[in-house]
Each structure stands twice: as structure tokens, then as C-alpha cells.
Amino acid sequence: MFAFGIPRSGSSTFGLSTSRDFFQIPPVTVPTVGTVTVVAILLVVLAVVAHLFVDRGATGKVPLWLAAVFAVLFLFLFLTWAAAGLRSVPIPGLLIGSLALATPLIFGSLGGVIGERAGVVNVAIEGQLLFGAFSAAVVGSATHQPLVGLLAAVVGGVLVSWVLAAFAIKYLVDQVIIGVVLNVLVTGLTNFLYSKVLVADPALNSTHRFPRMPIPLLSDIPIIGPVLFQQTIITYLMYVAVFLTWYMLFKTRWGLRVRAVGEHPQAADTVGIKVQRTRFWTVSIAGAVAGIGGAYYTLDAVSSFGKEMTNGAGFIALAAVIFGGWHPIKAALAGLLFGFATNLQSTLGIIGSPVPSEFLLMLPYVITIFAVAGLVGQSRSPAADGKPYIT
């Protein structure tokens, strides 16, 4: 924060459209010092408003829109400061890249939210993503059908979560331990099969990627059109999944049962909900969702599987679950934020900004530590999260 005190003269330029866009918008150039000052003042005002909400508001919570506006303004401030006097910041490219990086994170975090709402801690998101990516690559390559590959990714994610569910629910082994060990198992298994099978037979490791499917009209909206509506089917599935997860968890009888099982399994059992069964199937669904996120790697981003290609995304997804307060929409927004932070470092690297990329990459993890320590907002997990239910 104090780093912004360092004066940076000149101006910052933002490119707002690419040459292929329907509407062409000229790049916007703003004077750096003035903009930074104005935005900083706005941020302070927002912080005061947030404080008032906490003090006087009925819920005692900062509303989501306020947090979102704050985050966006803060990022704008950061960009203006970081890009001063350099080449223009390609905003659409930055956002498209962020959404791309955020896609597996959001699927992973949805998987985490669903499982943990039912009371099963999922540290194995990384393993589910990785195994989803692997099965999508192999099956997608063998059948030359990306859709079949996507289905295989779902199955892969479910398989991993079945191991998690079996050990956590039937054998009552500590869920964090299973999660950690499952990550090692999936890493070992996919590395082994990659080196032994895929390297020997490259035909098993080259998928047809999903094509980009621009949505008519919507994709012509300036800035957000190319970002949101010129994507592959996996990204569109993600929009649906976020909404559906929220709707299913909070608006249906099934969701109420899942949440009851995660908050107070004994009470749920008393009213006739089958706790173990509910947990098992909920964790399976969670694995399926995370598996789709894995498919992103091998059916959307690139067309082949690589060793440990998820590269810790599962842990960022876990961070998004916690930072998002175990809420699907907030977790998705957290995933977006983390995707943005990850993509920002490469963009800043391209335009030659002096900010060391490592600190931006560190950001999601630092934010999460602050979040669990209660310094940024409150994060409260489902009450029976991680506790096996013993009848």
C-alpha cells in the first residue's frame, strides 16, 4: 500500500479494444498522478462507507457490491500506478486471460464449496483437477471427441472424490490427510502414466480443443463482449455451474439437506436425512464439477497433458473457497480475482512494469492468510466441516 507513495510521473494508457472487435474504442490515456490521487480518495470514501455498514447496518456485514467496487477500483489504481509511462495496458487481453486462468479455479472452488457445505473438507481439489485434465486428454485423444473427453474428465473427478468419500465417510479417516495423500497419489499416478504411456504413444496425448463459440450480438458489446461471450463451451458451462450451484444449494430442498448435513449432521439425521448417503453423493457431484475444471487444461488451454500441469491451481481454488466464505458466487468472484492477479503479472511483464511478478503471484495466498486470520472480512466454515459423522 505504501508503495503507492512512490511518485510515478507521466501518464498511463489503457487499450480498450483489439483490432478484431466490432466496435473500435480509442485507447484512453490518463495522467498518472491525478488519477491515482482521485481513485485513492474514492477508495478511502468507500472504506468509510463500508465501516458505516458494519457499524449501523442490520446485518453487520459489508455488502458484496461494495467489496466488488472496492476491489475493481483498487485494481485500477494499481494498474494506473504500475503502467505509468509504459506501453498501453491491453485491457481486453488482460481480462480475457484472467477469465481463462480463473476458469479452472472457479470450477475447483465450486467443487470445494459443494463438498464442504456437506461437511467434507476437500484438500484434494488439486488432485481432482489434475486427474480430470489427464482423463480428458487421454479419452479426448483416443476418441477425437472433445465432448467425450469432457465426460471423461467428469468421471475422473468423480473417481478421485469417491476415494475421498470412501475413506472419509466409511473409514472415518481424517479428511485433510486423505486430501493431502490423494494429491500425492494422483500426482504420482499421472506422472507415471505420462512418462510410461503418453510419451511412448503421443497419439494418446493430442486432443482436439473446443472451438471458440462467440454468442451472436452479446459478443459485440464493447470490452465485456469479447471477454465474456467469445469463449469455449467450458467457460459457458462455468457460468451455468456458478448459478446452478448457488441455486441448488440455497433454493432447493436438496441444497437445504446438504447444508443441514454440513452444519449439524445429528439434527439432520434426527429428521430423517441420510447423512452418510447425502455426503457421499454430494462429494461425488463436487468431484464432477472439479473434474470439468480439469478438462479446461487439456481441452481448452492446450491440447495435451503435461506433468503436474495444474501447478497448484487446486490450492488457489481452495483459497478461493475460503476467501469466498463457502459461498458459490463469492467463491467464483474470489477465483476471478485470483485469476486476475495471476494474469496481471504476465501482462505487466510484457509492458515492462517494474513490479516483481512473484509478488503478484503471491497475492492470492497472502489474501487468504489474512482472510482466515480474520483481518479481511469474516470467514466462517460450515459447522460440521471436516468432522466425520459416527452413528
Binding site for other proteins (CB under 8 A): 116, 121, 123, 163, 167, 171-174, 176-178, 180-185, 187-189, 191-193, 195-197, 200, 312, 315, 318-319, 322, 356, 358-359, 361-362, 365-366, 368-369, 372-375, 381, 383, 385-388, 390
Q: How far is CA 36 from CA 63, 90, 326, 350, in A?
A: 25, 19, 34, 22
Nearest residue to 131 (alpha-carbon basis) of 310, 315, 299, 334: 310
Q: How far is the CB of 80 from other proteins (least distance, A)?
A: 23
Minimum CB distance to other proteins, residue 195 (Å): 4
Q: Which is nearer to other proteins, 190 or 232 (CB)?
A: 190
Nearest distance in Å: CB 82, other proteins:
16
**Residues ≥6 apart with Cβ < 8 Å to 291:** 128, 129, 131, 132, 135, 153, 154, 155, 156, 157, 158, 160
Q: Which residues pair with 29 in a beta bridge?
A: 13
Report which of 324, 312, 279 is spatially closest to residue 110, judged by C-alpha positions.
324
Shortest Å, Cβ 148 to other proteins: 22
Q: How far is the CB of 306 from other proteins (least distance, A)?
A: 14
Q: What is the CA angle 357-363-365, rounded to 5?
A: 130
One-letter amino acid identity for 10? G
Grid coordinates of 301: 488451454
Q: Which residue has the cell 477425437?
A: 144
Q: How many other CB atoms are there within 10 angstroms of residue 201's CB atom?
A: 12
- Dist CA 376 CA 364 (whole Å): 13
Q: How far is the CB of 190 from other proteins (least distance, A)?
A: 8
Q: Which is nearer to other proteins, 43 or 193 (CB)?
A: 193
Nearer to other proteins, 151 or 283 (CB): 283
> Cα(320)–Cα(339) distance, rounded to whole angstroms?
10
Q: Measured from the CB atom, is 11 or 311 closer to other proteins?
A: 311
Q: Which amino acid is at 38?
A: V
| Range list of H helices, 83-230 | 91-117, 125-143, 146-165, 175-193, 224-229
C-alpha cell of 358? 512473484
State how far the Cα of 288 lies from the Cα of 245, in Å rounded to an integer.
12
Cβ closer to other proteins: 13 or 343? 343
CB of 210 vs other proteins, minimal distance in Å: 29
- Minimal distance in Å, beta carbon 88 to other proteins? 27
